[in-house]
Amino acid sequence: MSFEYPEDLKYLDSHEYVRLENDVATVGITAFAIDQLGDIVFVELPEVGDDLAQGETMGNIESVKAVEDIYAPVSGTVLECNNAIVDAPEQLAADPYGEGWLIKIKMSTLAALDRAMSAPEYRAKVEGE
Amino acid sequence: MTESLKTTPLFHQHQHLNARMMGFGGWSMPVQYEGITAEHHSVRQNVGMFDISHMGKFLLKGPHLREQLQPLVPSDLSQLVPGQAKYSVFLNEQAGIIDDLIFYFEGYTDAGLETGKLIVNAATTVKDKAWLLEHLCAEQIGFEDVSAAQVLIAIQGPRAIATLQSLTPTDLNTIRNYRHQAGTILGQPAWFARTGYTGEDGFEVMVDPDTGQHLWQTLLDAGVTPCGLGARDTLRLEAAMALYGQDIDDTITPYEAGLGWLVNLDKGNFIGVDTLQAQQQNGLKQQLVGLEMQGRHIARHDYPVCLNNETVGKVTSGTFSPTLGKAIALAYVPPSLAKPGTELQVMIRNKPQRATVVKKPFYQRAKP
C-alpha cells in the first residue's frame, strides 16, 4: 500500500513528521504509522509549557491492538496541543498532515533535525519494510 | 519471524484480500482486513466470517468414549445427548487449566462405539494431543488429528443463519445453541456447530479444503465481512470469554477464572478435583473480574491493578470496546475487591488510571 508523504516535511525513524516554520516545529505521525497501528482510540500528549528533549517520550498513541510511544523529534517547549485530536483520535487517520497534527514545539536549537529524512528517503525506508 | 509458520487452506484468500497477517499459535493468520473496528461492528450488526482452521480438531471414536474422557474434565459428559456440545477444560493435578475446549458428542456407530469431536486451541494442539493419548486407553480409542486437513469457518452475527441457510439444505434453525449436526453445504459434506467465540449467534462449519475455499468465496460474494483475529479478540472480550494463554493457563483454576459453572464436583473422580474441593471450602485467592476504565487509556495484558498505590492484581486482557465505546479489561483481583462497583486503579505507564469493577459479560446480545 502506498501513502502520501508531503515533500515539505521532515521524517523520523520513529515515524513522526515535522513541519518547520521558523523556530516552530509542528509534529504529527505519518500515514504509514497510522495505518500500521490500525483503528486509533487514544492519544496522550504533553502539556503546553512542557520542556521536551529530543528523543524523549512525549506521549503515546493507542490503537485497538497496540500502544506506541511518540518521541519528541526536536528539543524545545510545547507551544500548543491539538485537543481536537485528543477528543476524537479516530479522526487522526483522515488527515494526518493537516487536521491531524499533534503538537507545536518552539525549538531550542535549529540544528537538531540534521538526521531526519526527506520524503523520498522516508518512503523508500517504509516501503522497503 | 524465524520459525516457519503453518498456513491454512484459505491463506491465498487472505492474501487476495490484502489481510495483514501475523503469527498466532504457530500459524500465519489474518489480524485484520479492512480494520478491526469495522469488522467488529459487522459481526455485532450484520454478519462476519473468520478462518479458524488453525484450531486443533480431533476426531474420537471408541467404546464408552465419554466415560474415558470424564477423568480429564471437571464437567459431566454422561448426560450429553447425541448432537449436543459441551464447553469444558482439561485440568492438571493442581486444577490448573491445560486448555479450554468444546467436546461435540456425535452419537453411536452401528457397532455401538461412541464418536465425538474435540476442538481445542491452536497453540495447545500438540500438548492436548499428547495429554489425551497419555490418558485415554490407546488400544480402544480411535484418535484422528484433522487439524491441518480440515477447514473451519465461523460465520457469526445476527444475519449468520439466514446467510448460511441459502447454501445448505440442512435446516439450520433446528440446530439449537450448543448443538451440532452433519449435513451438506454447496453440495459437499459439511459439519455445522452452533457455537462461536463472539457473543453472537452463528455457526462454525467444518469442510474439506476445496469446499472451504469455495465456501469462503461464496460467503464473500454474499456480502459477509471477512474478519481477522483482531476483531475476534475484541468480540470475545466484550462477551467476557477467556482466551487461553492470556486469561487462563495452567496456573489458574476454573473457579478463579469464573468457569465454576462447568465444574461438577459430584460427577465422580477427575484430575484436579481435590484442589477444586479445597478451593470451594477455603475460598479463592484471586478471581477474574471485568473492569471498565474511566478514561480512554487501555489496560493491557500484565498491567498491575492497584488499590491505594498497592498492587492487588493484574490485567490479563484489555481493549477498547467498539460496541460500548469504552476501554474494558479482564483482571485477577482478590475476592474482597471483586464486587461490581469497586473502584480500583490500573497502572498504565507508571500512572494510576481509574477503573471500576463491572459485571461480566460487558456485552450480551438481546435474545430473540
- For residue B86, is it within any domain? yes
Cell digits for A64? 485497538
User: Looking at the predicted structure, is the pLDDT value of residue B2 above 70?
Assistant: no
Which of B279, B174, B230 is CA-nearest to residue B24? Answer: B230
Nearest CA in chain B to A61: B297
Q: Which one of B145, B172, B196 terminates a domain?
A: B145
Inside any domain, residue B280? no
pLDDT band at B138 (very low <50, low <70, confident <90, very high): confident
Which of B186, B190, B178, B254 shows the shortest CA–CA distance to B221? B186
* pLDDT, tens digit (0-9, with 9 covering 90-100), for B6-36: 999 999 999 999 999 999 999 999 999 999 9
- Residues B269-280 pLDDT 10s: 999 999 999 999
- Give the number of other CB atoms < 10 A from CB of residue B193: 23
CB B102 within 8 A of CB B89: no
**Is the same domain home to B64 and B136?**
yes
Q: Is B300 on the interface with A (CB under 8 A)?
A: yes
| Same domain flag for B195 and B316 | no
| Position A114 confidence tier, pLDDT thresholds 50, 70, 90 | confident
Q: Which domain holds residue B105?
A: 57-145
Whether residues B297 and A65 touch (CB distance < 8 A) is answered with no
For residues B136 and B154, state if they share a domain: no
DSSP for B58-99, please give it. EEEEETTHHHHHGGG-SS--TTPPTTEEEEEEEE-TT--EEE
The answer to whether residues B234 and B172 belong to one domain is yes
Grid cell listed for B359 = 459485571
- CATH number of the CATH domain containing B158: 3.30.1360.120
Closest-CA residue to B58 (of B11, B127, B156): B127
Query: Is B259 a domain residue?
Result: no
Select from B98, B123, B145 the last residue of a domain: B145
Residue B329 has pLDDT above 70, yes or no: yes
Are residues B210 and B336 part of one domain? Answer: no
- The domains located in chain A, with CATH, are 10-127 (2.40.50.100)
The shortest CB-CB distance from B320 to any of A1, A41, A44 is to A41
Peptide bond into B361 cis (omega under 30): yes
Considering CB atoms only, which of B18, B297, B320 is closest to A64?
B320
The average pLDDT across B199-221 equals 98
In this predicted model, which residue has the larger pLDDT, B346 or B366? B346
Query: What is the per-residue pLDDT for A129?
Result: 61
Residue A66 has pLDDT above 90, yes or no: no
For every residue of chain A, DSSP letters joined together read: ------TT-EE-TTSEEEEEETTEEEEEE-HHHHHHH-SEEEEE---TT-EE-TTSEEEEEEESS-EEEEE-SS-EEEEEE-HHHHH-GGGGGG-TTTTT--EEEEES-SGGGGGPBPHHHHHHHHHT-
Place of cell 512542557: A50
Q: Considering only CB atoms, which chain B residues are within 8 Å of A60?
A: 349
Say whether both B46 and B166 belong to one domain. Answer: yes
Q: Where residue B131 sits, what CATH number does that domain have?
A: 3.30.70.1400
Residues B227 and B300 in one domain: no
From B18, B36, B300, residue closest to A39, measured CB to CB:
B36
**Are residues B131 and B120 located together in one domain of the fold?**
yes
**Nearest chain A residue to B325, by CA:** A41
Q: Quick one: pLDDT band at residue A1, thresholds 50, 70, 90?
A: low
| Mean of the per-residue pLDDT values of chain B | 96
Per the domain annotation, does B81 fall within a domain? Answer: yes
Mutate to test the interface with B, among A1, A65, A90, A129 (most CBs of B within 10 A): A65
Complex prediction ipTM: 0.75
Name the residue in chain A with its Cα closest to that of B317.
A65
Helix (H, G, I), strand (E, B) or coil at B135: helix
**Mean pLDDT, residues B163-179 taken together:** 97
Q: Which residues of A touch B (CB under 8 A)?
A: 1, 38-39, 41-42, 44, 60, 62, 64-65, 67, 89
Least confident segment among A4-13, A28-37, A56-65, A108-117: A108-117
- Please list, in sequence order, all residues whose beta carbon lies within 8 angstroms of the beta carbon of residue B331, skipping any fewer than 6 positions away: B288, B289, B291, B299, B305, B313, B314, B315, B316, B346
B48 and B70 together in one domain: no
pLDDT in tens, B213-225: 999 999 999 999 9
Final residue of a domain: which of B207, B238, B269? Answer: B238
pLDDT digits (tens, 9 = 90+) for B49-103: 999 999 999 999 999 999 999 999 999 999 999 999 999 999 999 999 999 999 9
**Do B197 and B316 reside in the same domain of the chain?**
no
* B354 domain-assigned: yes
Beta carbons within 10 angstroms of residue B199's beta carbon: 22
**Residue B343 included in any domain:** yes
Helix, strand or coil, per DSSP, at residue B126: helix
The answer as to whether B256 is a domain residue is no
CA distances from A74 to A44, A105, A120 (A): 18, 8, 21
**Interface size between A and B, measured as CB pairs under 8 A:** 38
Which tens digit of pLDDT belongs to each residue from B40-49? 999 999 999 9
For helices B36-45 and B229-238, angle between their N-to-C axes, nearest 10 degrees: 50
Is residue A112 predicted with pLDDT exceeding 80? Answer: no
Unique residue bearing C-alpha cell 531550542: A108
Across the strands, what pairs with B99? B90
Question: Which residue among A1, A38, A42 places its CB closest to the CB of B296?
Answer: A42
Cα separation, B257 vs B251, in Å, equals: 11
Res. B3: pLDDT tops 90? no
Q: Which helix (H) or strand (E) holds B39?
A: helix B36-45
In a shared domain, residues B174 and B26 = yes
Task: Please check whether residue B193 lies inside any domain of the structure.
Answer: yes
Q: Are residues B74 and B63 in the same domain?
A: yes
pLDDT of residue B368: 66
Share of chain B above pLDDT 90, in %: 96
Residues of A in contact with B318 (CB under 8 A): none
| Number of domains making up chain B | 3
Q: Are strands B48-51 and B27-32 parallel, antiparallel or unpaired?
A: unpaired
What confidence tier does B1 reach under pLDDT thresholds 50, 70, 90? very low
Beta bridge partners of B60: B116, B143
